[in-house]
């Protein structure tokens, strides 16, 4: 019965939200969209004095980045989050809200594709799809992160690959599904990620060669219509926010990174990187690509529809591999498709578990692989949550020290803090222009005034007078901060892993480097210390009894010091 798969489908949004709450901070790759969402949600959209308003309130004016990015995703996500704002008591919680909305949208797209897998291959395949997808790490972890890729992921998950999977189930004259899928995938490529143009091309070519879809009735109208609609969605909107007309951000990024070749500045990987490195990491469970996908292709009953997904996806990855700079997030759109094919193979094995010893053993191995994948994904989540010392440090600064009321505090953020979690949602402002006056009035921290600085100019940082105005500095290198400063707290971050053999002792992940700890308000340990304690507990539980003395040691390193200016105030 189809409804039997729903409890398993619900694992997907559940684990997305779990990953969000365990790792609530953001990285620099997400910064443009999360800052833009904050500015739209908090300050609103100006109706007059546009340039002055944007300069005074919007982060992208001061920190535009190497190329402009579209505001389309930020605007939509802000609008979807706005009705729920009153349920939260701080702007830090609003960051969880907007990320949660994005995560649930991606969860809906993943479930919609899972239902197509269920329709194509049966209820058992739908269940295996849900189990494989929920036990992966990257898709679940990044589903709520405001990367442009994850905005585009919604369009891909719900329509593009579904149209391929359903291609041979649709009547010959049913062209609406194809046209709509190509429309929306083209729009996503125009607005969010230009690499989707390659995926549009491979899907369109495959449908034309195998399904005979009409060039004049489907391909050209869908392509031209998607381009026009996409440009209308992005050019007027982004020209307004960037105060530059006409502006098509995704074309600007494509020209800068691909045509001019600046993407190579971020590193070059070999041609086979996506196939031999990225795909195994993204799928996580080796049984999916070593066992289940081959079974789905060898089995006559599942081969045709598996190839409908596999051929365009592999072609997309192969063509995209010619670009020198490679990142796993550039191909994340195809992971649900591979997972769906693997689910078809797993279903074939599972439904025959009672017919032979081979199928029984393979079925048991599949169940074990899913359990191991869940455990591995959980461990990776715990480690990944340690990569955001900037967000952790700002939380400790606001809530971990005593600050006199009705006093102004000036804070400088170092580069690492800005890259690893500091966002405007986590800052504490008393701005007069806000849609959250009631929300901000409820926050006790608003009794104080906080002023934040993200100056990066090397000449300014070498000026001793520059530092005299600050009460606190979140610095990765205290020796570069000029003046009389005291380390009030040290925030640790992930420093690597080390395999310990029997007899080797593990060190203490977090050393007591808090400086004058008496200055801190006792509010419990920070997150890195909590994770370190949990890892030590697991070591005592598992190392000798289960793993025969072997263990993976998670090393922690001091990342950010919260420095206090001794010449200004007393904590």
- Determine how many CB atoms are found less than 10 A away from the CB of residue 209: 10
pLDDT at position 365, please?
Answer: 96
Segment 13-20 mean pLDDT: 97
Confidence label for 540 from pLDDT (cuts 50, 70 and 90): confident
Phi and psi for 567 in degrees, rounded to 5? -85, -5
Angle at 158 between CA 152 and CA 159, to 5 degrees: 95
Quick one: how far is CA 262 from the chain centroid?
23
End-to-end alpha carbon distance in the chain: 64
Taking the C-alpha atoms of residue 156 and residue 154, their distance in angstroms, rounded to an integer, is 5
| Chain segment 326-382, per-residue pLDDT in tens | 999 999 999 999 999 999 999 999 999 989 999 999 999 999 999 999 999 999 999
% pLDDT > 70, the chain: 89
Question: What's the CA gap between 543 and 502, in Å, rounded?
Answer: 9
Is the confidence at residue 2, as pLDDT, over 80? no
pLDDT class for 443, splitting at 50, 70, 90? very low
Question: Residue 207's pLDDT is what?
Answer: 82
* Overall average pLDDT of the 297-317 stretch: 92
Give the CB-side neighbour count of residue 130, counting CA atoms within 13 A: 24
Is the bond leading into 246 cis (omega within 30 degrees of zero)? yes
pLDDT at residue 431 greater than cutoff 50 = no
Band (pLDDT 50/70/90 cuts) for residue 172 is: very low
Residue range 287-304, pLDDT digits in tens: 999 999 999 999 999 998
CA-closest candidate to residue 452, choices 420, 423, 489: 423
Q: Which residue has the tokens 């090397």?
A: 458
Domain assignments of the chain as residue spans, ordered by start: 5-386, 389-508+526-565
Percentage of the chain surpassing pLDDT 90? 53
More confident residue, 489 or 10: 10
pLDDT class of 175 with cuts at 50, 70, 90: low
Whether 139 has a pLDDT exceeding 90, the answer reads yes
Q: Which residue has the higher pLDDT, 358 or 222?
A: 358
How many whole angstroms separate alpha carbon 487 and alpha carbon 561? 6
pLDDT score of 426 more than 90:
yes
Helix (H) or strand (E) holding 62: helix 59-62
- Mind listing the pLDDT tens digit for each residue in 491-531? 988 888 888 888 888 766 665 545 555 555 544 567 777 77
Q: What is the pLDDT of residue 569?
A: 58
Distance (Å, whole) CA 456 – CA 530: 32
């Amino acid at each position: 019965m189809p409804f039997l798969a729903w409890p398993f489908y619900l694992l997907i949004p559940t684990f997305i939200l779990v990953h969000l709450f365990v790792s609530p901070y953001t990285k620099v790759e997400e910064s443009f969209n999360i800052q833009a969402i904050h500015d739209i949600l908090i300050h609103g959209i100006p109706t007059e004095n546009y340039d002055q308003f944007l300069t005074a309130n919007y982060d992208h004016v001061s920190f535009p980045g190497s190329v402009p990015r579209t505001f389309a995703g930020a605007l939509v996500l802000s609008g979807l989050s706005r009705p729920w704002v009153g349920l939260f008591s701080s702007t830090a919680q609003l960051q969880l809200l907007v990320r949660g909305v994005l995560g649930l949208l991606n969860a809906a797209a993943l479930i919609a594709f899972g239902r197509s897998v269920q329709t194509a291959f049966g209820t058992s395949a739908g269940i295996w799809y849900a189990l494989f997808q929920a036990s992966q790490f990257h898709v679940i972890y990044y589903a709520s992160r405001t990367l442009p890729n994850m905005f585009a992921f919604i369009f891909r998950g719900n329509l593009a690959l579904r149209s391929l999977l359903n291609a041979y189930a649709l009547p010959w004259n049913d062209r609406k599904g194809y046209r709509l899928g190509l429309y929306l995938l083209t729009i996503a490529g125009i607005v969010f990620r230009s690499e989707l143009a390659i995926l549009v091309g491979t899907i369109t070519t495959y449908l034309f060669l195998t399904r005979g879809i009409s060039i004049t009735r489907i391909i050209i109208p869908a392509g031209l219509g998607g381009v026009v609609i996409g440009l209308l969605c992005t050019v007027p909107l982004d020209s307004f926010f960037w105060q530059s007309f006409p502006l098509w951000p995704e074309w600007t990024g494509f020209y800068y990174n691909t045509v001019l070749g600046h993407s190579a500045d971020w590193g070059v990987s070999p041609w086979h990187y996506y196939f031999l490195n990225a795909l195994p990491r993204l799928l996580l469970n080796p049984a999916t690509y070593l066992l289940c996908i081959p079974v789905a292709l060898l089995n006559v009953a599942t081969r045709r529809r598996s190839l409908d997904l596999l051929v365009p996806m592999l072609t997309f990855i192969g063509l995209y591999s010619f670009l020198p700079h490679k990142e796993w997030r550039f191909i994340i759109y195809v992971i649900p498709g591979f997972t769906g094919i693997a689910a078809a193979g797993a279903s074939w094995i599972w439904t025959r578990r009672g017919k032979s010893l081979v199928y029984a053993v393979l079925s048991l191995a599949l169940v074990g692989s899913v359990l191991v994948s869940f455990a591995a994904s959980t461990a990776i989540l715990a480690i990944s949550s340690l990569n955001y010392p900037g967000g952790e440090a700002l939380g400790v600064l606001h809530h971990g020290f005593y600050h006199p009321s009705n006093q102004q505090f000036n804070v400088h953020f170092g580069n690492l803090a800005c890259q690893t979690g500091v966002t405007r949602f986590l800052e504490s402002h008393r701005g007069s222009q806000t849609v959250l006056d009631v929300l901000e009035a409820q926050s006790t921290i608003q009794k104080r005034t906080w002023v934040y600085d993200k100056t990066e100019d090397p000449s300014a940082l070498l000026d001793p007078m520059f530092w005299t105005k600050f009460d606190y500095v979140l610095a990765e290198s205290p020796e570069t901060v000029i003046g009389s400063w005291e380390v009030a707290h040290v925030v640790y971050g992930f420093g690597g892993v080390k395999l310990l053999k029997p007899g080797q002792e593990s060190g203490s992940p977090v050393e007591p480097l808090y400086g004058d700890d008496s200055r801190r308000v006792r509010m419990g340990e920070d997150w890195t210390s909590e994770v370190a304690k949990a890892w030590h507990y697991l070591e005592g539980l598992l190392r000798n009894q289960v793993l025969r003395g072997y263990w993976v040691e998670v090393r922690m390193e001091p990342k950010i010091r919260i420095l206090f200016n001794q010449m200004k105030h007393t904590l």
